[in-house]
Amino acid sequence: AEQRGVQPGSGIGLLMQAAVFQHQLAFLNGLRPMLIPLP
Single-letter residue type at 17? Q
Residue 20 pLDDT: 92
d(CA 2, CA 38): 41
Residue 35 pLDDT: 63
Tell me the backbone φ, ψ of residue 18, rounded to 5 degrees.
-65, -40
| pLDDT tens digits, one per residue of 6-22 | 565 678 888 899 999 99
Of the chain, the end-to-end C-alpha distance in Å amounts to 42
Residue 26 pLDDT: 86
Residue 8 pLDDT: 57
Q: How much is the pTM?
A: 0.46
**Considering the chain, what is the average pLDDT of its residues?**
75
Residues in the chain: 39
